[in-house]
Structure 1
Amino acid sequence: MAKNRTRVGRALIWLFVIAAAVAGLNLYAVQTEDGSWNPKLALDLEGGTQIMLAPLTEEGTSVSSEQLQQAVGIMRQRVNASGVSEAEITTQGGQNIVVSIPGTPDQATRERLMASAKMEFRSVLVMAAAGPAQQPVDPSATGDPAETDPAVSDPAQSDPAESEPAESGEGGGSEIATETEEPTDEPTESDPAPSEPAEQPEPENPSDPAWVTEDLANEFAAFTCDMVDRTKPMPSDEAVVTCDTDNTVKYILGPVEVEGADIADANAGQVPTQQGIPTGEWAVNLEFNGEGSEAFHSVTQRITSLEQPRNQFAVVLDNTVLIAPQSNVVISNGQARITGGYTQEGAEALADQLKFGALPIGFQVQSEENISPRLGESQLMGGLIAGLIGLILVVIYSLFQYRLLGLVTVASLVVAAGLTYLVITLLSSVQGYRLSLAGVTGLMVAIGITADSFIVYFERVRDELRDGKMLINAVESGWQRAVRTILASDAINFLAAAVLYLLAVGNVRGFAFTLGVTTVIDFVVVALFTHPVLQMLARTKFFGGGHPWSGLNPDALGAVYRGRAQFRKPEASGKRAKSAKEATRRQTIAERKKVSAQERED
């Protein structure tokens, strides 16, 4: 008996610990971050911001439906990178993309959308510190920028391994390699010899200094970073002048050599030793598809032995240089590692930009406006009223079917509702989850799932009482039978919700998400609240004694079995006449035959 009480107390303590932990985490989010004690609402309930993006195409060209759908998929990944945000991303008129975001988008989400241009890999021909317009440069001087102009300097030390880690995680002086090799400072014999501007030869490859014509050199000298035009795509087959995203370095870049769409994957991780042990140095691991691997192999094979800065290649996003790492080794397998003193946050941010920035076409923001809720408070209130009516009907049925035992159902539903509210609120504060009307529907469906678990458990207990067991024993054996059924049912519900979440988009994912969360909470409440409470009630006189209003009266349930092959004879008179008739009606055919045989023997 004492052991059972210990288990009951331990289960209730665990439930309290879980609820307190969820509430404590949300309190921490409220105090330190943008947390709230109220769930954030989605676009259909709160309204939000609508951003229209128009494609950037060269003159005489148009965007295809395949490119547009690919861009929609990548943008959806960008917006949802931090969790379920209930954003809607659609096409309009077969040309534009409309992004609708609940509430006011945070800076990270806005940056993901603003970085919507086409990503490109270009060779670096010349680089210099950004600043006021300078004197025209000699196009033949394409080696170390310091030799071209005294104001020119490398944005980071030439040897990142000896430099201090950058706090911001930006990779101006990054390296990209699968092995660490020192780049040579002397040009190889294969380097094209510079020629006089008057006799400008045709460039032999994208790294050829011949791309730097006198006009382009003068343009570079007069160029300032506020002159970067992000509204038009840069020509892919020409050398261009641009700046990095921080407006600290300006570049002359060769033609496009690798498309951003050729990036298969990008992720952040620590650089391992040869034995596979993490070193603590953060890097970005880059993987190309088949076509990209071949093109990138050609790039690294050509530029690795060149002098700085021509041994660098620039990753261009939205017409600006995202990073310009050095190539220290020829990469033939399409798997590169970008290092350069990154912090974990900086490496993860860069990996996100590389992975989700590979749009097949460029876009510019055409318009941005606030939109009102599509359903509004009245529709939400109507849905909540419908859910409340359903909850009341469940309570009425439980009290009618199980008498005062139905109060356990009511209490369990209250506990499940409170725990669900805390979890949804925490996810809103920490993961950016937003509750849509579809999500509210998932919460309402959970009422039936939770009530079904209680019914399975109560019916198993009543079956044990019909077999003649005492209530304390019936509760334990009934739980052992019921828990397998409840687990199987919840597992199927959770699997359905997971598949729906993975395959669906938009509001349907919100429904699947809340359905999955409430399914887990259902089992937690049944195991840590309903079962312990029933164990405690079984020791009370009212329930343990089988009071008619307890819902656990053995006579009303037809408990006729009293031991092996022994049955209680129905009584035909007195107060038990009705119970005897009910007991006879509930007997199986085998039990009736056994009783008839005993009566004939008597």
Structure 2
Amino acid sequence: MAAPSGRIKVTRYFAVLAVILAGLYALVFLTGDKKPQPKLGLDLRGGTSMTLSAITADGKAPSAQNLNTARQIIENRVNASGVAEPEVVTAGNRNIVVNVANDDPNELRQLVQPAKLAFRKVLATGQDQPPAGATPASPSPSASGSAAPSASGSAAPSSSASAKPSTSPSASASASASASAAPSGSAAPSATPSTNPTAAALAASRAKTLAEVQKKLGPAWEAGQSVLSGMESGQIQPGQIDPTTLASIAPFAKLSGDEVDSLPVEMQYLLPTVTCAGLNARAPGVLDDTSQQVVSCDQGDNAHTKYYLDVAKVSGTDVKGATSGFDTNNGGWNVTVSFKGKGQSKWTALTQEAMNDGQQTDPSTGQPGQNSSVAIVLDDSVVSAPQIQSVIVGDAVINGGNINEDSAATLANQLKYGSLPLSFRIENTQNVSPTLGTQQMRYGILAGLIGIALVVIYCLFYYRGLGLVVIASLLISGLAVFGSLVLLGRSLGFALSLAGIAGFIVAIGITADSFVVFFERLKDEVKDGRTVRSAVPRAWIRARRTILSADAVSFLAAAILYWLAAGEVKGFAFTLGLSTIIDLLVVFLFTHPLVSLLSRSNGFSSPRFSGLGNVRSDAANEAAGGATRAPRFGAVRTKES
């Protein structure tokens, strides 16, 4: 039987490996912060702890099911890559504690906001006019900080939608858009009571707060009622209120978020001193009722733009998924929102309605009298409000403004995992120290070094020259692992924990097993009487099948464990799978070519150096009759095929 060719072009293998390692470390030193430092997990470096308290309309504790669902969604968001290993636990009957290896509280606030999405037709837009130095008194704490991922969120639901919302307020438009009459002196709160106990409790709370607001404002309340009536009748035009009248309603700018929320929706929109600062200070979840018309504000550069919004015709429950990406045509990041079957129909109908409104004209002026914009509302803020120029039958695309890579990924992550069933108030945020600390990390690294040392000693003792191949292969594997850790920390948020270190330690055995399989196959070939040079290709053909099978089983086990496990076990499974992939890379591109190259050297083929000197062919044993033992360092009897 002819032997397979022992000549492989080892330079090609080494060149491919060199390109991979060079590319890996070029990314390490030329991208991100350019520091070759892996991201450490919460147990090794500490991070941020945030306590969230659930808010309910009746003030009672939420159901255990809703609280646990919220905990799971928050964990999925924070751990979107599956390897950040956050600690998200419930505390008591209404609190959730989130611990992450992240020093940026603002980023964590974005991840824990409710992310309740609604698409509402814009009935009218206007500008607030806060008195100089006016700020809302005692704003309600918000669980989300800034609800919009973009400061100016100029977005378009499709490529055909304009990114410019209407900026000319119309008192008549807002009056006609309102479903309720102008409020009287005893105006009812904006939420209509219903048989739903939660809605009824919320309406009762708002009515109580409104009575307190009327008493607190005194003459300013009567002045506000007078201005509201004048604006709805067209006698007072927006932006043309005389200074004396504006000063009489200035106290509205000092209302807290809860007090602003109790005002009738028409008053929230039409009174210029009900500012966006006050509207944005409302507690999370005040716009959750999709059957009510609401007032919301833009963010960032357009933070003084108020929107009078219709009932929500499309909501987050109609969304199937969301992805972030870069639009090369517009040169910016965006979020593509895809809809379910019925949700797609609702979205198309909403764009049709908005387009029809934009085409209607005011008989008295001959100009368009209706707004054709659709607002994309996330929680309590408007992400964007593009004009609809044509019916859209595809996905909604949120783009433009200050949406960048991070904010687009955060928004897509929020929408992908769904909105929280509860709204939360941030009780406190603080830095936490490492739960294990650097000492335990040193112990883990020491355990890994001991494991590597034992493998090296065994290979040198048993395989001699081949043991040097093991050492070189482990060094290459270590370089690949370290570079991968740094890049994964930057791109996927991978945080190396003590469990992850344990995964790498276990992987040392898997890597060493690949060497053993190959070398033992090589010994078998030499034992059959072949030279080392001719034995290498034969041994590799037989060994690589076993190596591939063993690594496939190991990777499959790691993948299943990663899929089913949570928390630190995920980190263990991830590093185990990563090490298995790198093991295949090193064995195929370095170990095999290196052994093949060395086999061409007479020095390496020497039985004393290669470690194959104690291998005696079966034919030699038979000739000796098994009576005598071959010398330990005797020459190997070979045959050429």
Match of 1:226 in 2: 277
Whole-angstrom distance in 2 between the partners of 1:392 and 1:419: 19
Q: Is the 8 A contact 1:271 1:280 kept in 2?
A: yes
Corresponding residue to 2:578 among 487, 512, 517: 517
CA distance 1:65–1:301, shift in 2 (3 Å) = farther
C-alpha deviations, 1:413-447, integer Å up to 9, x for none? Answer: 23222321222123224433210011001100111
CA distance 1:24–1:402, shift in 2 (3 Å) = same
Q: Does 1:132 align with 2:130?
A: yes
Whole-angstrom distance in 2 between the partners of 1:180 and 1:126: 18
Q: Is the 8 A contact 1:271 1:282 kept in 2?
A: yes
Deviation, structure 1 residue 529: 2.2
Q: Does 1:63 align with 2:62?
A: yes
Normalised TM-score (structure 1): 0.74
| Higher RCO structure (Cα 8 Å, ≥6 apart) | 2
Match of 2:21 in 1: 19
Match of 1:570 in 2: 624
- Paired-residue identity, %: 39
Deviation, structure 1 residue 18: 2.1
Whole-angstrom distance in 1 between the partners of 2:612 and 2:441: 40
Q: Is the 8 A contact 1:394 1:451 kept in 2?
A: yes
Match of 1:43 in 2: 42
Deviation, structure 1 residue 26: 0.5
Whole-angstrom distance in 2 between the partners of 1:379 and 1:373: 10
C-alpha deviations, 1:315-367, integer Å up to 9, x for none? Answer: 33342212223445566x78545577898848666545544562222222111
Whole-angstrom distance in 2 between the partners of 1:196 and 1:421: 67
Normalised TM-score (structure 2): 0.70
Corresponding residue to 1:240 among 294, 298, 322: 294
The correspondence of residues 146-225 of structure 1 with structure 2, limited to 5 A, is 170-172=152-154, 174-176=155-157, 197=182, 216-220=265-269, 221=271, 222-225=273-276
SS in 2 for 1:514: helix
Any stretches of 5+ residues in structure 2 without a counterpart? Answer: 133-149, 193-228, 234-263, 359-368, 635-641
Q: Is the 8 A contact 1:12 1:529 kept in 2?
A: yes
Match of 2:468 in 1: 407
Q: Is the 8 A contact 1:303 1:327 kept in 2?
A: yes
SS in 1 for 2:607: coil
The correspondence of residues 336-351 of structure 1 with structure 2, limited to 5 A, is 336-337=396-397, 345=405, 351=412
Letter in 1 for 2:623: K
Whole-angstrom distance in 2 between the partners of 1:390 and 1:198: 78
Deviation, structure 1 residue 392: 2.9
Whole-angstrom distance in 2 between the partners of 1:290 and 1:61: 36
The correspondence of residues 320-339 of structure 1 with structure 2, limited to 5 A, is 320-328=381-389, 335-337=395-397
Equivalent pairs counted in the alignment come to 520
Letter in 2 for 1:233: G
Match of 1:586 in 2: none
Deviation, structure 1 residue 518: 0.9
Whole-angstrom distance in 2 between the partners of 1:328 and 1:561: 88
SS in 2 for 1:176: coil
Deviation, structure 1 residue 177: 5.7
Letter in 2 for 1:176: P
Q: Is the 8 A contact 2:82 2:570 kept in 1?
A: no
Whole-angstrom distance in 2 between the partners of 1:130 and 1:357: 32
Letter in 2 for 1:248: H
C-alpha deviations, 1:357-387, integer Å up to 9, x for none? Answer: 6222222211111111111222222223333
Match of 2:74 in 1: 75
The correspondence of residues 460-475 of structure 1 with structure 2, limited to 5 A, is 460-475=521-536
Any stretches of 5+ residues in structure 1 without a counterpart? Answer: 135-167, 273-277, 584-602
Whole-angstrom distance in 1 between the partners of 2:512 and 2:177: 78
Match of 2:639 in 1: none
Greater Cα offset, 285-294 or 452-461? 285-294
Corresponding residue to 1:8 among 2, 6, 10: 10
Deviation, structure 1 residue 245: 2.4
Match of 1:551 in 2: 611
The correspondence of residues 182-581 of structure 1 with structure 2, limited to 5 A, is 197=182, 216-220=265-269, 221=271, 222-227=273-278, 228-234=280-286, 236=289, 237-246=291-300, 247-268=303-324, 284-289=335-340, 292-293=343-344, 296=347, 299-300=350-351, 302-307=353-358, 310-328=371-389, 335-337=395-397, 345=405, 351-352=412-413, 354-355=415-416, 358-547=419-608, 550-553=610-613, 556-561=614-619, 569-570=623-624, 577-579=628-630
Deviation, structure 1 residue 571: 6.2
Whole-angstrom distance in 2 between the partners of 1:341 and 1:429: 25
SS in 2 for 1:253: strand
Whole-angstrom distance in 1 between the partners of 2:326 and 2:104: 31
Q: Is the 8 A contact 1:57 1:63 kept in 2?
A: yes
CA distance 1:570–1:70, shift in 2 (3 Å) = same
Match of 1:154 in 2: none
Q: Is the 8 A contact 1:234 1:240 kept in 2?
A: no
Whole-angstrom distance in 1 between the partners of 2:330 and 2:497: 44
C-alpha deviations, 1:189-245, integer Å up to 9, x for none? Answer: xx8799974899xx9x9xxxx9x9896444432211211224243162544333112
Letter in 2 for 1:113: L
SS in 2 for 1:473: helix
SS in 2 for 1:359: coil
Deviation, structure 1 residue 19: 2.0
SS in 2 for 1:512: helix
SS in 1 for 2:484: helix
* RMSD of equivalent CA atoms: 4.3
CA distance 1:75–1:133, shift in 2 (3 Å) = same
Whole-angstrom distance in 2 between the partners of 1:193 and 1:94: 40
